Amino acid sequence: MTDTTQQTETTAPLTGKKVAFLATKGVEQVELTSPWEAVLAAGGTPSLVSLEKETVTAMKQDWEHGESFPVDLHVSEAKAEDFAGLVMPGGTLNADALRGDEDVLAFVRDFFAQHKPVAAICHAPWTLIDAGVVEGRELTSYASLKTDLKNAGATWVDKEVVVDSGLTTSRNPGDLDAFNAKLVEELAEGRHEGQSV
């Protein structure tokens, strides 16, 4: 008889991989929980990195308060080398707070410097702009970020998911199925030489 537990562990594409989820107050709840569940289902270990020290309260479509989620690590103590990749959920308040923090920007830049996969959805590419990592890259985002991204030197396209050398981006919660599939695929592939600062 086959041991299905062992079989699942050996076939799960993210087994042994720890994945950072970067979020703070105001994160769009489904953009945190859906990719988190996808990483877990693929055998990975998600970890919530935040500006907060205890919990993060999510939002539902920037209007309604959602659930609170426990923080695993404050961003000032987080190191990119401890993770296989980075997932950045959206939410207007979340992205606006993150992009103004120097520890956040250094943490994000380190994933690019180490050629590790990064996935950002909705408003999260705002933080990528401030980290200085979008110039010359093709990506998508929530539609209102289109001009900001173009001004930062990116090529913006209107597609449900865009992958550019380890950088995965999507527009909104409606794209989560495609986003989740690609972020798991990119995390499983590992480092991408084209992913750099």
Catalytic residue IDs? 122-123
The bridge status of strand 73-74 relative to strand 138-139 is unpaired
**Whole-number Å distance between alpha carbons of 27 and 34:** 13
How is the chain classified by DSSP, letter by letter?
Answer: ---HHHHHHHH-TTTT-EEEEE--TT-BHHHHHHHHHHHHHTT-EEEEEESSSSEEEEEETTTEEEEEEE-SEEGGG--GGG-SEEEE---HHHHHHHTT-HHHHHHHHHHHHTT--EEEETTTHHHHHHHT--TT-EE---GGGHHHHHHTT-EE---SEEEETTEEEESSGGGHHHHHHHHHHHHHH---TT---
The distance between the two most distant Cα atoms of the chain, rounded to a whole number of Å, is 59
